[in-house]
Amino acid sequence: MSLQVRSQVSLKPFNSFGVDVQARWFAEAHSDADVREALAYGLEHKVPVLVIGGGSNLLLTADIEALVLRMATRGIRVLSDDGSKVVIEAQAGEPWHPFVQHTLAQGLSGLENLSLIPGTVGAAPMQNIGAYGVEIKDVFAGLTALDRHSGELRDFSLEECNFAYRDSLFKQDPGRWLILRVRFTLDRAAHLHLEYGPVRQRLTEQGIEHPTASDVSQAICSIRSEKLPDPAVLGNAGSFFKNPLVSGELAARLKGEYPDLVAYAQADGQMKLAAGWLIERAGWKGFREADAGVHKLQALVLVNYGDATGLQLLDLAQRIQKDVADRFQVELEMEPNRY
């Protein structure tokens, strides 16, 4: 058995909140064979297997009575290149931002707006991660996943993944599919997405009139670094709440009461509200109780100032949800997976 299973392992280094809980068992998968061994171990010992990546989308509220399997598979390869479009595949355990930087270094465009997002390649399609006008679905070419029920491998097309805002088939049915590798279609010629004002403004400030994909990536990295705390310094999981989708009628009513409401029209007639604006307007920005708090510069980010527990962070999040619902009649949904 090549898989190394350890018992009673602290998960503090493996979640970006830095919450200190224990895993009953812990292992790292460096290959498909390791993944299968871990699942077999779970069946043999009658324990569930919880698969994690970079731990940047987790809120751990108690010790985990399971085998925690951290995906540490590595590998990037080009599957096809017609001189214009390149299909590239990455293993699920590849850290996301270094993968983005790798594609840019190869002269490929498509992922630059998703720079500096924490986590791993395998987690990216689960959340359909997105930023600055681009989502995974926009560059997705397919993925290979293991069916935990049957043990068979299956390839998924774009249509089969049911991608939506911060959602996918794999998030809707988390216990079934284990993503092993993901494929992306990228461009040799840059087709830049500069719809978001702050990105264009940052490039203008830098005197860049004709940006490259790398220029856009660097601008986004600088913006994100200013807005979002580094988890290595201050525990956090990035944006803690989704930007809520509401009816045009409710958005219009709120806009009448709050003219500075930040809202974006959607193709289906709904409006997407800025959760950070709602939280800040409700007075939570900079709030701190013990070591659980709301970041002083970005109300969308909950932070662990040191020794906050997952339950303390969850309690804070639920109080924010209730306050926002009472004030604005808007329900906020948490992004991190809770255990």
Which member of 16, 94, 239, 281 is catalytic? 239
SS (H, E, C) 218-229: HHHHHHHHHHCC
Torsion angle, alpha carbons of 138, 196, 198, 252, to 10: -130
302-304 and 292-294 strand pairing: antiparallel
Sheet holding 245-246, edge to edge: 245-246, 271-273, 263-265
87 within 8 A of 80, measured Cβ to Cβ: yes
φ, ψ for residue 65, nearest 5 deg: -85, 65
Among the listed residues 231, 179, 238, the one whose alpha carbon sits nearest the alpha carbon of residue 51: 179
96 within 8 A of 103, measured Cβ to Cβ: no
d(CA 53, CA 203): 32
User: How is residue 254 written in tokens?
Assistant: 């709120």
How many CB atoms lie under 10 A from the CB of residue 150?
9
The CA-based diameter of the chain, rounded to the nearest angstrom, is: 64
Which member of 37, 112, 135, 335 is catalytic? 335
Residue 164 DSSP one-character state: B
Which member of 166, 188, 224, 327 is catalytic? 166
Q: Is 239 a catalytic residue?
A: yes
How many CB atoms lie under 10 A from the CB of residue 9?
18
Q: Is 70 a catalytic residue?
A: no
Cα R_g (the chain), whole angstroms:
21
Question: In the structure, how many helices (H) and strands (E) does the chain have?
Answer: 9, 20
By annotation, the residues acting in catalysis are 166, 239, 335
